Chains A and B, each alone.
Chain A
Amino acid sequence: MSSNTNIGRSADAKLQRKARRRLPAAWRSPLAIIGVVIAGIWLILAVFAPWIAPYGPLAQELPRLMPPSELAWFGTDALGRDVLSRLIHGARVTIPFAGMLVLCAMVLGTLIGAIGGYVGGWVDEVLGRLTDLFMAFPTVILAMVIAASLGPSLFNAVLAGIIVTWPVYARVTRSLVVSLRSQNFVVASRMLGYSSWRSLRTDILPNILGPVLVLASLEIGTAILLLTGLSFLGLGAQPPTAEWGAMISGAMQNIDAWWLGVFPGLAILTVVMACNFIGDSLRDVLDPLSSAERQGAGAAAPAVTTDAAADPGAEPDFAQGRQEPNQ
């Protein structure tokens, strides 16, 4: 084996070690663990709701407005339905619909932003102004107006949510694509006969996926708030559907029965918080601006020379020493 391959191997091994160390580091933070655990619990509850929940979501088998007790841990509502069971079944409504909202908004916004950024010119102008137009309205108010005009249903609430949240993705995607479009590797593949579409798919998309996914993971929390908010206002899920926002709305009529509002509120709080924790950790792992990645990039550049450059203390001194004779 030549000395050249040895250098290559050792640099390679070093980078691999670095990557292995880097990924868990962000996930090892307490917030990330809490987020993953809470989200995991909710997912399990949602998937296995019929087996976990003590009662059916619509079953009226218990006394009305019963405070929390051994019979019903979270109490019962005005129709004698078990709040805990409705909460668990509510996870099956809110979480998948919020996920669908985020997924659709992400695909739509990314597509529009990527096309605008890549094509440029008047197409970019038109799509950019369209994005601005939607961002000019307050999100929740616009969602309310759209949901109300489409007619109250959970599906329409999701539709309204998509319409008000896609511009966020379009903006981020566009700026990422604009900065990537003029990169040499994109120009090089166009010179090798790549079509625009292929270049967008294979050169641009893989390089913007990280930041867009981070944004999407942070937006899941927003989407849940938006959907439960619309349901609370009567524009989303309709009774008797077990939906957290609608449950809180129902609690308004029996304000003394505190358990009706507090437990669905806690459910929303924990899910949104978990989503945000996960999103933050994901950003730390993937975002080029986060500190972990910056260290990674700094180490990757002088990969072969390594040791002198890897010592963070040595570098600035060296640079200063060089500047003095010039001045």
Chain B
Amino acid sequence: MNELLRVDDLHVRYGPVTAVDGVSLEITPGEVLALVGESGCGKSSTARAIVGMDKPAEGTVLFRGSDVPKLDLRTRRPDFTAMQMVFQDPNSSLNPRKRVGDQIADGIRAAKARGLKSNSPQEWLEAVGLDADMVGRYPHQFSGGQRQRIAIARALAAKPDLIVADEPISALDASSQASVAAMMRQLCLDAGAGMLFISHDLSVVRLMADRLMVMYRGKVVESGSTSLIWNDPVHPYTRALLSAIPHPDGKGVLPEAPAAEAPDEWASHIDEALNRVPVSKEAASE
């Protein structure tokens, strides 16, 4: 039972639409797994099913070996507060009528309920690069990037073993994206927690993730070591995603949208593209 999270053959359906079509993954402590793909490929649906916001139509989500219960009217059991989420929109992540210090204190209380020690709200604010004396302020007094840092502080204050981050940086401006992403990885690794990091931005993911899963139309098309996939993509969809990253060549050419015309080969299943492990490091990482 080394793995924190094990997802087996997950299907998520919204009415007739199959958003997630048979995704399996596992995350071990201290590991960052990134899930990338274009809008609507099922990344966020996967995340919502993992934390229990949506009920899987098929398949299982096991956190530390037990089924993740749906987030309904029942109070979440303390052992599942070890799984925390960071949302895409920093504006709706924080209660507008509550001081940020009190919101971070909610996270600390969740850690205490599991018998763990957590730092003070002031210390958590400093850990995410804000001033300790900001605890008394309300969310509207912060910028979007600062609010996201506070939301991250609240999630980390609960001393989670697993953080599910659903596009946590895509609502931020370019300058704060890199710093927030680096901070998240560092704090996660310091705490020995695992992280599922969802993004549509391969260039950010390359710097953060140990492993990568590329999703297309609800299916995982390529997965494995980040550097392997980045340097030598096998699946045609991964190649298209990589070539869509804008290059600062001074010409101001915008890349073609990958979804403009979707060749059939993008949906093809290629065995070699899955679970790619670097040959030399295989023994070390396993």
Name A residues whose Cβ lies closer than 8 Å to a Cβ of B. 4-5, 8, 11-12, 15, 119, 183-185, 187-196, 202-203, 206-207, 297, 300-305
Contacts and interface: CB of A to CB of B under 8 A. Distances in A.
B96 A207 contact: yes
Given A11-B141, A193-B113, A303-B141, A184 B81 contact: no
Nearest to A206: B97
Closest 5 CB pairs of A and B: A206-B97, A184-B87, A304-B143, A195-B75, A192-B110
A12 B81 contact: no
Interface in B45-89: 51, 53, 71, 73-78, 80-81, 83-85, 87, 89
Nearest to B73: A196
B106 A192 contact: yes
A207 B95 contact: yes
Contacts of A303: 140-143
Contact of B93 (A188, A192, A193, A195): A188
Interface centre among A297, A302, A303 (most CB of B within 10 A): A303
A8 B134 contact: yes
Interface residues of B, number: 43
Interface of B: 51, 53, 71, 73-78, 80-81, 83-85, 87, 89, 91-98, 103, 106-107, 109-110, 113, 131, 134, 137, 140-144, 146, 151, 154-155, 158
Given A185-B92, A188-B87, A202-B98, A193 B140 contact: no
B196 to A, nearest CB: 14
Nearest to A192: B110
9 contacts: A12-B137, A184-B93, A185-B103, A191-B71, A192-B76, A192-B81, A193-B76, A206-B95, A207-B95
B232 to A, nearest CB: 34
A202 B106 CA distance: 11
A191 B141 contact: no
A203 B95 contact: yes
B66 to A, nearest CB: 16
B106 A184 contact: no
B158 A5 contact: no
Contact of B73 (A119, A206, A297): A119
A112 B89 CA distance: 30
B111 to A, nearest CB: 9
Contacts of B155: 188
A185 B107 contact: no
Nearest to B252: A325
Task: Point out which of B92, B94, B103, B151 has the most chain A C-beta atoms below 10 A from its C-beta.
Answer: B92
B235 to A, nearest CB: 30
Contact of B81 (A5, A8, A191, A304): A191
Contact of B71 (A4, A119, A187, A206): A187
A187 B84 CA distance: 10
B71 A190 contact: yes
A193 B110 contact: yes
Contact of B75 (A15, A196, A206, A207): A196
A193 B84 CA distance: 11
Nearest to B164: A191
Nearest to B131: A5
B146 to A, nearest CB: 8
Contacts of A195: 75
A8 B131 contact: yes
Contacts of A190: 71, 76
Nearest to B95: A185
A192 B141 contact: no
Given A188-B87, A188-B155, A194-B76, 20 more contacts: A5-B131, A15-B140, A119-B73, A184-B87, A185-B93, A187-B87, A188-B154, A191-B71, A192-B81, A193-B75, A193-B76, A193-B109, A193-B113, A196-B74, A196-B75, A206-B97, A303-B141, A303-B142, A304-B143, A304-B146
